[in-house]
Structure formats: C-alpha cells, structure tokens
Homo-oligomer: A and B are copies of this chain.
Amino acid sequence: MAQLEPDENCLVEPLIEAISGKWKLLVIYWLAQETSRFNQLQRNLGNITHRTLTRQLNELQEAGIVSRKDFKTIPPHVEYSLTPLGQSLIPLLRAMHDWAAAHADKLVGKK
C-alpha cells in the first residue's frame, strides 16, 4: 500500500468540499465538453432548477473551478467554462471514475 503523506487531509479536504454537492460533478462534466450558456447547461442537466444551478455555478466560481464571461450585451450573453484549474481536475475525476466503476457494487450496495 502506498504511503500517505502526513498532510494528506489538510490539502485534500478543500478539494472534496469543492466538488461535493449534488450537480457539481455533472456541471463540471458538461463544461468539460464545451463552454456553455446558462440555459444550455440547464437543458443538458435536465432536472435542475434555475436557483440550484445558479448556486452551484457560484460555488464553483468561488472555488476557482468555473469562470463566467459576461459579454455585456443586450440581450445578455453569458458563458460558463472550466478554468485551467477546473480542467486540471479532469484526469483526477477520471481516476475517481475508474475506481468507482471498479468498486461501484461494493460502495453503492452498502449505502
């Protein structure tokens, strides 16, 4: 078993916190596909309210994972995309996905 670092947790907890919460991973997933406007993202996500998506996007922006570009036009045109930090998460999410795919039966079955 690989040795863990003593500082494991101080560092990893903010990461866990940043991607915790229903919809966050889905939002990251869709923004990894393409830069999106709010309505497009809401359509892709399906069953999410305007208010919830707004909150999730705000929290992802605060964490530095998502950026918001306002073109300051009338009618408004705003685009959301992954920041470089958000993009750097993709290989990690893939590793988490691979682990989860290999062990989903054990983990999900217990919940």
Contacts and interface: CB of A to CB of B under 8 A. Distances in A.
Q: A-side binding surface: helix, strand, loop or mixed?
A: helix
Contacts of A91: 2
Interface string A90-111: 1111111101111110111111
Contacts of A88: 99, 102-103
B14 A29 contact: no
- Number of identical protomers: 2
18 contacts: A4-B93, A4-B94, A8-B26, A8-B29, A9-B29, A11-B100, A11-B101, A12-B96, A14-B107, A15-B100, A20-B20, A62-B110, A63-B110, A64-B107, A64-B109, A64-B110, A85-B106, A96-B96
